């Protein structure tokens, strides 16, 4: 009888140890899956941030070129503003930024309005660009939101403009 009781106790103990080790293995697999998902999300986030920085770099080049052309002697400010709109829309929005596409397009539209108004004021000989400023601020606010969604600090947009 003692032998039977001992064998039964050993079998119950073996089953309990087996159940515990399966539970630990399951927890380990869940942690690996979570780590893999986190790593994938981090990689996607990095791609979005990189694409956004690249896009903004291209738009900044267009802005600086337009700023120089607006005040260049012999250059028609209206032509410079029209060139901005064409050049800015030619900068393609990377696929990684498709979720922010509408915000980015609205920002570029605001900037196009800014340059159209600024060209009008420059052509009229005005030094006061206050009428154009709300469009620039709209652009800055829109792009700041896009940068915040991408978990990036927005650049100092005012330094881009002359």
Per-residue pLDDT of the chain (162 residues; tens, 9 = 90+): 666 565 556 565 565 656 655 555 556 666 666 665 667 778 888 999 999 999 999 999 999 999 999 888 888 999 999 999 999 999 999 999 999 999 999 999 999 999 999 999 988 988 899 999 999 999 999 999 999 998 898 888 888 886
**Angle subtended at Cα 80 by Cα 61 and Cα 70, rounded to the nearest 5 degrees:** 80
Looking at residue 40, its pLDDT comes to: 75
Looking at residue 159, its pLDDT comes to: 86
Rg of the chain (C-alpha set): 30
Looking at residue 113, its pLDDT comes to: 96
Q: Residue 111 and residue 149: Cα distance in Å, rounded?
A: 20
Looking at residue 41, its pLDDT comes to: 77
Every domain of the chain and the residues it spans:
45-159
In the 8-state DSSP scheme, what is residue 127? -
CA dihedral 134, 138, 141, 146 (to 10 degrees): -160
């Amino acid at each position: 009888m003692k032998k039977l009781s001992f064998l039964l106790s050993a079998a119950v103990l073996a089953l309990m140890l087996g159940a515990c080790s399966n539970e630990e293995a399951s927890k380990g697999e869940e942690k690996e899956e979570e780590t893999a998902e986190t790593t994938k999300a981090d990689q996607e986030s990095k791609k979005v941030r990189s694409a956004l920085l690249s896009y903004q770099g291209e738009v900044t080049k267009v802005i600086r070129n337009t700023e120089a052309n607006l005040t260049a002697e012999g250059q028609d400010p209206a032509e410079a503003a029209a060139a901005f709109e064409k050049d800015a829309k030619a900068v393609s929005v990377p696929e990684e930024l498709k979720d922010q596409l509408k915000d980015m397009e609205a920002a570029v539209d605001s900037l196009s309005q800014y340059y159209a108004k600024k060209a009008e004021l420059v052509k009229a000989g005005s030094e006061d660009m206050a009428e154009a400023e709300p469009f620039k601020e709209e652009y800055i606010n829109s792009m700041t939101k896009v940068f915040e969604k991408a978990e990036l600090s927005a650049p100092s947009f005012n330094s881009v403009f002359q």
